Amino acid sequence: MHPMLTIATRAARAAGQTIMRAYTELDRVEVSSKGINDFVTSVDKEAEATITYQIRKSYPDHTVIGEENGENRGENKDYVWIVDPLDGTNNFVRGIPHFAVSIAVQYKGKIEVAVIYDPVREELFSAVRGKGAKLNDFRMRVTNVNDLSNTMIGTGFPFKARQHTESYMAILSEVFPLCADIRRGGSAALDLAYVAAGRLDGFFEIGLKPWDIAAGDLICREAGGTVTDFMGAHNYMISGNIVAGSPKVTTQLVKTMRPLLNEGLKR
């Protein structure tokens, strides 16, 4: 196993233990608001500290970028760990058992190692660049479909980017009749992992952050998927607007969405 994958897995599982301990005592979890429908809990912070500790034990000079604590710069600028300690905080806070730990390792700007861990189901989605993607110990592949009919598409509402609500609803209205059904799970990391595992055929969302998608990006691509922004380009880590799926599904989603984009989504 790739040594950094070993550490990422260890860190994700340790954070998962922290999260599940708190999940059994939700009434004791401290919750504060970062914005409209955007929460942070004491568990997010504790899980991120657990992950950073595990990384620092093996790689004390690497840089760690976490959702809660920002950039923890190390002397080695080439290696950057991008961490979301609890993706799906809103689900967690309400007791909905659908959330995950997301960890990606970037080397000189490219994601090399990725782990998404669902501590409820004890499912570990992982990938190493050029080595394929796995769910626990089994290889994953995206679905092999040729068009949107009979597909299951994942999405997320733009609750942090409500200025795009009208465009998003137009896209949803156009996509829904073309596919079998649409799911909104509440964790972008798990949505991308589910695309890689063939549970979803495609996924799109507006306004995500790098820690939401860095790990899922590599896992999805290593499972044979295609990941783009809404224009079919590769600016999604900056714009946060992402489309992922089996290659033909991604192509058809982009083709369907492109005429409906406002100017703010064309980047």
CA within 13 Å, CB half, 32: 6
Place of tokens 């626990």: 136
Longest dimension (CA), the chain: 52
Domain presence at residue 115: yes
Domain presence at residue 25: yes
Could you tell me the CATH number of the domain that includes residue 22? 3.30.540.10
147 is in an annotated binding site: no
67 is in an annotated binding site: yes
How many structural domains are present in the chain? 2
Question: What pLDDT was estimated at residue 162?
Answer: 83
Q: Which of 75, 105, 139 is the last residue of a domain?
A: 139
Question: What pLDDT was estimated at residue 73?
Answer: 80
78 is in an annotated binding site: no
Helices (H) and strands (E) in the chain, counts: 8, 15
**CA distance linking residue 85 with residue 102, whole number of Å:** 6
Q: Which of 139, 160, 192 is the last residue of a domain?
A: 139
62-66 vs 31-35, strand pairing mode:
unpaired
Residue 114: how many other CB atoms lie within 10 Å:
32
Question: What pLDDT was estimated at residue 135?
Answer: 98
Q: Which of 139, 160, 178 is the last residue of a domain?
A: 139
**Residue range 195-246, pLDDT digits in tens:** 999 999 999 999 999 999 999 999 999 999 999 999 999 999 999 999 999 9
Q: Give the gyration radius of the chain's Cα atoms.
A: 18
Question: What pLDDT was estimated at residue 50?
Answer: 96
Q: Within this chain, do residues 252 and 156 fall inside the same structural domain, yes or no? A: yes
Q: Which residues pair with 244 in a beta bridge?
A: 203, 227
87 is in an annotated binding site: yes
Residue 261: how many other CB atoms lie within 10 Å:
17
Q: Within this chain, do residues 10 and 121 fall inside the same structural domain, yes or no? A: yes
Question: What pLDDT was estimated at residue 255?
Answer: 96
Could you tell me the CATH number of the domain that includes residue 178? 3.40.190.80
Residues 6 or more apart whose CB falls under 8 angstroms from that of 84 comprise 66, 67, 101, 102, 103, 189, 209, 211, 212, 215
27 is in an annotated binding site: no
Q: What are phi and psi of 15, to 5 degrees?
A: -65, -40
Q: Within this chain, do residues 162 and 118 fall inside the same structural domain, yes or no? A: no
pTM: 0.94
Q: Considering only CA atoms, which of 150, 149, 151, 142 is closest in space to residue 225? A: 142
Domain that holds residue 227: 152-260
Extract the residue ranges of the chain whose pLDDT is less than 70.
1, 33-40
Q: What are phi and psi of 218, to 5 degrees?
A: -65, -45
Domain presence at residue 179: yes
